[in-house]
Amino acid sequence: MFAVIMAGGGGTRLWPKSRESFPKQMHVLCGEKPLVQGMTELLQDVVGVDQVYIITNAHHAMGISRIMPWISDRILIDPYRRDTAAAIGLAAVYLSRVDPGAVMGVFPADHFIADTEEFGRVVKAAENLAAKGKVVTIGITPTGPETGYGYIEYTGQTETADGKTAYHVSRFVEKPNRETAEEYLKAGNYLWNSGMFVWSIPTVLALFKEHLPGTYERLMRISDALGTDEEADVVDREYQAMERISVDYGIMEKLKDILVIPGNFGWNDIGSWKTVAEVAQKDEQGNTVNAQSIRVDTENCLIVGETGKMIATIGVKDLVVIDTPDALLICNKDRTQDVKKVVDKLKEEHLQCYL
């Protein structure tokens, strides 16, 4: 089985630490290693060192190669931002030249997994189902009415593999409001959409042919050019012309036969500062601190400093304070999803130096 790590995102909700030139997946945000390194080493333990590949853009590839020199020859270059469908298709085409009948799993770079052994068992179960031609996704058992994730509704129909139960998917649903999320939680047959998918290479290419035929044709032109003198030019031309669409919209939401395996392995999508605070260690007052800091009557705050500056807080709670050499973020924990609005505003004001 191949494991492909999607590492091309910008991580705008983790500004100002995450920047376009050095995004969140390259930072140490929880644990002791950069997120992309943690996911890489985890998947190497599950599928084997030589079976893990990373797909990202050329600039990020250089940064990842510095973090993990041993994987530099297994970094696939995503030449233009065309969303996840194009990136997954490109990876499938490249890997089909290595082992055309293999199973291929897709995993985001910015996830934190606490129970690595259980994660490995779930991935192996998904691999065995995918080897039989099934399309498998890994869902996360909800721990609360989260509005920041999409959901997967599943039926009572089941299949088993390696002691794990896989359910048939009824539908994928977009990020809900609070009331709807609470209804999903009460219903008991909804999982968070983790963005992890497992399928065989022939299966996923057939799905492109059926549901994204234009993209499929361009992928086949790339496939024909691999290993030739024309490879670089063909990849650049065909990839640039591909439709910009996610694999969820382009393929997954159109399928009627998908299996989902519930995952209970301490999963977190490190997509906001609130999530970082939830995963990281805390002091007796619930604060997570990675800075020179004095705190008086301070509760449940996340304080991160990169400058060596002393950060003092008095009489505050539920705040996020992120101090970098050129930017300072202060916001309420419940508003951390809105950090992206700051990034959008910086773009509108042509303040690229802060991006």
CATH number of 2-271: 3.90.550.10
pLDDT at 167: 97
Structure tokens at 101: 């009948």
**Residue ranges covered by each domain of the chain:** 2-271, 274-354
Distance CA 109, CA 122 (A): 18
Output b/e per residue, 318-342; b: 16+ Cβ within 10 A.
bbbbbbbeebebebebeebbebbeb
pLDDT along the chain (355 residues), means of 10: 93 91 90 93 97 95 95 95 96 98 97 96 98 97 90 92 94 93 96 97 98 98 97 97 95 94 94 91 94 97 95 98 97 93 96 94
Q: Give me the pLDDT at residue 271, please.
A: 87
pTM: 0.93
Q: Give residue 337's pLDDT.
A: 86
pLDDT score for 341: 94
